[in-house]
Each structure stands twice: as C-alpha cells, then as structure tokens.
A and B are shown apart, each in its own frame.
Chain A
Amino acid sequence: MLDVLVIGGGNAALCAALMAREAGAEVMLLEAAPKDWRGGNSQHTRNLRCMHDAPQDVLVDAYPEEEFWQDLLKVTGGRTDEPLARLAIRASSDCRDWMRKHGVRFQRSLSGTLHLARTNAFFMGGGKALVNAYYRSAENLGVRIRYDAPVDGLELDGGRFVAARVGKERIQARACVVAAGGFESNREWLREAWGENAAGEWPADNFLIRGTRFNKGVLLKDLLDAGADAVGDPTQFHCVAIDARAPLYDGGICTRIDCVSLGIAVNRDAQRFYDEGEDFWPKRYAIWGRLVAQQPGQIGYSIIDSKSVGHFMPPVFPGEKADTLPALAAKLGLDEASFMRTVDDYNAACRVGRFNHEVLDDCHTEGLAPPKTHWARPLDQAPYYAYALRPGVTFTYLGVKIDEHAAVHFSGRPSANLFAAGEMMAGNILGQGYTAGVGMSIGTAFGRIAGARAAAAALRPEPAQAIG
C-alpha cells in the first residue's frame, strides 16, 4: 500500500510530497489539472513573506517575528490563531535553503515593488517556475505524479483516512495530505455564500477569479460534509480590485489596477466610497476587492489624470482615455452631472503640499467625505484615464480546522493520519484580510509540516491514541 497520498498539485501539496518522500515514504501526488495547468494558485504567485533578523541574499534589512506578527494581526483584525500564525512566521525564516535544494531560485524584488524588498523573497520567474522546480525534484526523488486526477471524495473511518476516490478508482494509503485549494472557482458556492444583497443583486455573479479555474472546493466540501471541523467565513477571501475586462479565471497578477491611490475611485453612481490614499497601495490593495464587491453592480472606476501616468505598474489593458472629464464620464457610461460634482468637490477639497508617492505625503483633502488622506491632487491635467474595476478573487478562506501538526480536526480531535495544508487550512490564520506573500508562507510551512507528519504516521503507525 502507498504510504502517503497527497491530494493537490500546488505549492503546499508539493512541499508535503517532497517532505514525505525525503522521510522515506512511498508517495503519490494527485493533481486535478492537466499538466499544462498544474500548480493551482501557486503558478500565479511571485514571492513569500519571510521573517529574517538580518539581511539575507535577496532580502534587505530585517523583518523580525514580532513585526510580521503585528502586520498579520492588523490585516486580519485579530481574526487569526496566534500559535499557528507564529509557527508559519518562524518557519518562513528557515525554509528557503530547503526550497533552494529543490531547485527554487530567488531574485531581487521586481522593479516597482521596492516596498517588498525587505519583507518578501521573490521567486525567480515567479510561482510557475517554483512549481516546475518542485515537480522536477519530486519526479527525481521518485514521487509518483498523476495529472488529470481530480479526487471526488475521501473514504474515512471515523476521523481516519482510508482511501480517496478518483472516478471509479479507489486509492488507499496509510496517510493523506489534502492540499487541494479553496472553492473560489465554484461559482454556485460563491453565489450561495454571498447570497442576495439589499438591492436584489447576487454580488458573486460579478466576481472574477484571479486564481486557478480548478479550485472548485470539491474536497473541501466533502471533508466538511464528512464532519471535519470548519474554520473561517465563506465570504472571506483574498480579493483585490482588478481590471473589469480580465478573463473570468486565471487573470493572475497582470490584471491588477495599481493607480487607485493616485486618483479617485467612484462607483456606478459616480460617488466616491473610500479613502483612496489611506495607506501605501501594497498595504491597501487587498481591501479594494471587497470594497468594490460592496458597491452597486459590483463595479468601480479608478480615475487619474496625466500627472499620474508612469507612476504605477502599467496595466495590461489600455484605460479609457478622454481629453475632458465629461467626455470620460460619457465613455464610462456614468451620469455626467454626478461625476462632475464628485470631481469638482474633490478638486476643491485638495490641499496640495509636497506630492511624494513614496511616503505618506501631506497632500490631502479637507471637508470631504470620505476624505483622501494622502496623495490628493486635483484631477486637472488632460488627457484623463479611467479603469473599470471588479472584485478579483484569489482564494477563499473557508477551510478545515487543524492543529500545529496540520492534523485535520473532527469534533475537536485531531485525525491520526489526515493532514491539511495550503488554502484548505489558511483560514486558520487568515480570518480576513491579506498581506502580500503570506499565502505562500502558510502553504510552505504547513505543507512541510503535513508531509513530515503524514510520513511519520504512515511509517510508524502508533496505536490509535487519537481517533479512528
């Protein structure tokens, strides 16, 4: 019989498979996607957030545990599990040599991402290069890899893993790691989770998925139905404002719109709805998906003037462009009078000091609601540009409850041989909010823990002291 079955084919699954194999287990990995689409959401990632106490190769300065923890505490609004969070943070400080051993290479922070040079280690070539390296290493080490192998469900005996079903096939193993992602690409589930809003809309129908089209949550649902303890809120996710013209799935990084903090953002009624200059964009980009999701029609418009061109990552699609603001409103289909009132009010409220996008500058509005607290400059230099925004979901946070050994909990008790990693358990740490690269930190840390524990459970089966 197989020692360890790993279900999933992204970063967390690969880390688990490699660790289990290194521990001497016979390992099989089941990837639901065909080879061309392998890697889940990891193929769209670019870095992992790393704790470090001194400069390291591609990382400058220091990012101590406490600062990482405070950042996480802030973005999650306290909806996190401190021991698990600290476990992931500490693991991020010493996982990179192991990653290098398996072929992952790092590069300096990309141009336009200077703000991440201290906190995030970038993968050379991005997440797909990382995924490729892990698959090569797994193949070299003798992990059996199967593509096009979506698992329909698990066979459990109490909380003990017995087998997985792939179509008519039944695959038994002594232990199992589930790392098969969230349910972001399951439109029906998203629709049900978000429900109908007061205006009679089903907001989730207007969401785009930045992540993989293969994360339909089949295994997650199966586990929750089978009695695994749930963690997280099904409406919580990592969601950013992306170009409304982005493809429905797999839009990845390039569909992000990074000029929100340089201008104003209005909704379908041409009204501003949030402080665009609240904080540095990298610290705020992750709330804007949700903000747009809460607007009528789940759409927003980022408006800039020519002063801002070249000060942000160039977007993948050209913006709407007009020589006058009323012409821009017409192109966007916004009510011209409302739009001009919003812009005029904003322009009149701007108190321009010394504009500097690199710091929290003193350009702000006075007497405007909502205010714009930094980088507020009047929109007055033609031509004007606009980008339509939609919520772009990266991954969902609803998951299974785990402990520090990544063991899946059933009625408060850890399974003896079923472990979870990656998005399926990220909700233990991310109750809400996001900070760049932390998904990969969690996936790497718990993927490795789950793999090691699964190998131990398979190779040294102890008398069932937990359940099963």
Chain B
Amino acid sequence: MTDVVRLEGIGKAFLGVPVLRGVDLALRGGEVHALVGENGAGKSTLLKVLAGVHRPDTGRVVVRGEEVSFAAPRDAQAAGIAIIHQELTLLEHRTVAENVFLGREPVRRGQVDRRAMEAETRRLLGSLGEDGIDPGTEVARLSVARKQVVEIVKALSADATVLAMDEPTAALADGEVELLYRLVRRLRDRGIAILYVSHRMREVFDLSTRITVLKDGAFVTSAPTAELTTEQVVRHMVGRPLDTLYPERATAPGEVRLALRGAGNDRVRDLTFEVRSGEVVGVAGLQGSGRSALLRAIWGVEPFTTGTLELDGTPARVTGPRTAVRKGIGYVTEDRKGEGLALRQSVRDNTLLVRRATSRGARARRETDLRELLASVAVVARGPHQEVRYLSGGNQQKVVLARWLAVRPRVLLVDEPTRGVDVGAKQALYRLLRDLAADGLAILLVSSELPELIGLSDRVLVLREGTLAGELPAGADEETVMGLATGHLVGEPA
C-alpha cells in the first residue's frame, strides 16, 4: 500500500523556539493513524503544517508522491487534505449547506447555485446516515454532536482523501462519541486516510490502526496499535512511568459542609446528598444528565427553585456567584478560557480576581500573600506579571485554583478540571485537589473522564436525566457507573 501523504523531517520554530524538530509521518488510505503526545509536543503545529496554516522551516510535504508547498489552507484543500480543528469552525448564523460549501460555493450563471449546494449536502449527510439534518437549517439550531457531523461533511465535500481530526471528541458528550466513532470507521472503510489526534487513550485504542508518539516536538515512535499497550504509549509520551497517577484517599471525612435536601430547578430534580469536609465527591452522568447544571445551581447561576441547600448545617439561599463566594463556595468552570480566565491579564490579576471582585476596602487591596498563594499551587510562570495566556493549560488551571484559595472557601465545585491538560500536569492537579480536601475543603467534582472521576473520588454520585440515580463507594468500576448513568445494568461503555 502506498502512502497518500508523507511528512519528512518537518521542522518549525516560532521566534527561534523550535516546536517541531524533524518529524516524520506517513498516512495511508483506509487507515486511522493516531497522533499522541503531551500538550506542547507539537501535534497541533504538525496538523497546521499539513493544513497549510503554517509553512515548515525544514522538511518536505509529499502528497501522492509529489512534493508540495502550501501557502494557505485553500492549497491544502485543493490537494484533498481536510482538517477538523479543535474548535468547531462553523458559522452559527449560516445554514448547514452554506457552511459545508464555504469557500467553494458552486456558481451557476454568475450566482451561487443554492439548489445544487443543498442537494449535494443532503446527499453527503445521507451517505453518513445523518438524513435528519436539514441542509437549510441555521447551524446555531443544531446540537454540538450534529455540528460535529456538519464539520465532517464540510471536510468531506472537498473530496478529501486525507482527513485530520484534532481532538474531535473534546466538545462531545459521552453519548455522542459513539456517533463519531461510527463516522470515522465508515470513512476509513471508504479508503480515506485519517489522522486522529487525541488525549484520550481509550479512543486511540478503540479506533486506530497505528499510533505515532511525539514528545517535545520530536518523533518518538510509530507502531501498529495492536503491538502497543496503553502503559507503553503513556510512557513514551511522558518519558517516565506514571504508576501512581491518583493520590491516596482521605482517611476520615469531617463534618458536613454542603447538603442538598430535595433540591431542584428546571434542569435537576429532587437531589438529596451531603459533602463533608475532607471529601472529594465525584458526580458522574451523561452529557445533559445535569452534572454541570448541578454545580451551576449550587453556585447560584441557575439557582435551585425547590428544596433547600445547607452550608455548615444552616439553610442558605444562593442567588448568584457573588453570594456564593461570600458564603464560602468556590467554582472552577469547565470552560477555562471562555469563562475562567482573563487571558490578557497577569497571573497576579487573575489570582486576585475573586478577592477583588467580592470584598471591599483593605481586604480587596490585600496582595501580600500572593507569592504564598502561587507557591501553594506550584504555578510555574516567569513571574506574577506574566499574562496567563502564555501559561500551559495545567498552570492556568492552577492559577484558577489559587484564585479560590485567596478567599478561603469551604466548598469547592470543580467542573472538568483536567480538560486540555496534559498527562503530567493532570497528576499534579489530582495531588493538589486531594491536598485541598485534606486541608478541610469539601470538593464536588464533575468529570466526563470516568477513570479520573473514579480514581480521585471518595464517593461517586451518578446522575441520570436530572435525578440522582445512585451513589457508589470509592473504587467502583466504570461499567457499574455507566450502568447507572444510562439506566441499563449492563451496557457497552460509551
């Protein structure tokens, strides 16, 4: 079998900092090739070289035996290479068909041939078994999973023979991932070469036929998936074994910090549970089961309308983030860049954000403990003046945690703390959360990565369709959790 695309010795530096150093990669038709590596290993940059966004400093890009040089994304498109970027690249207020053909609209007698565009879009959607999507619908009206489908159709409509996907499941709920798997397999069977970038080992092993590992911008290894184990791949990625990924659990939880008694709103119903000081309580459930809605309700963004919420044994009314903070609740959002950090501001300003926003006078001005705060979460930065956008995902998340420590909360709500954080930094965050609990915090943790949730939590609450489906002790297995979450006692974990 011949290679459709070969990248040979690709090197790329930004402002003198090498990001890729002589990377080789070959893609074959009908193959799902997984590209893995820690954050900063150069996966996205390599993808952007393939997409024509960046020009390599050294090395060659060979497509079907001919060396090419892409000046812009449209050149890569013309060569049959389509990329699905990490963030969705759809225009919310245009229709499905307009998005699919963006930049390549068919023209007939001087104007865009909308009928042909919609017919072709319908055909493509149908060929993927997705005829439920109307080509004339505005994209803003579609669910995230369906947007992902549109994204893939958009890539395919350019007669792509190579499809590169950068973390395609990052925005998807657990239940929606299956849909993507099905699509990827169908495309592979059509003979399309697929480059699949992901952090999630299970996806990589479920889907790929070959795995290439990058580390620090350099090629480490490439081998058929069947010849590798998860442990081997992770070792290649981090360069050291991660035998103790999860810290040890607490010994004895303290008194009840947070309690819900029959609490509910229009997203969640009739929730009753307690979280104690020193505990990490995990919340599992499918997307839409009310996991994040539960945290946002406790935090007062969409408050509970029924039942009671008790803090340290006394009923409390939390009507918004401001009262929540004042009552000793902290919240780490799942959307770190969108709603967590002010990216252009310094580490200092982000760390002191909550304190400044919620207290007055001398308390609001207090900065003397800044170094102590940053040291307690072990942020690696050039200094308190560095803008947070220049930090890695893991360090950004530590700044978010430090911001909450600055106001000494009693309850910490944590939503997807390790999203977009590489394996090594994940371990540090797990350690940190556990230490915070040991210091007396009550932590309520939401994560869509089941191994992480189970590995870190003292107990796991499982939500299904807005209600509490069950509670599992530490060390429950993934199948039991999924069984409760889906309502099927035994089912294939999705």
- Judge: A and B partners, yes or no: no
Residues of chain A whose beta carbon lies under 8 Å from any beta carbon of chain B:
none
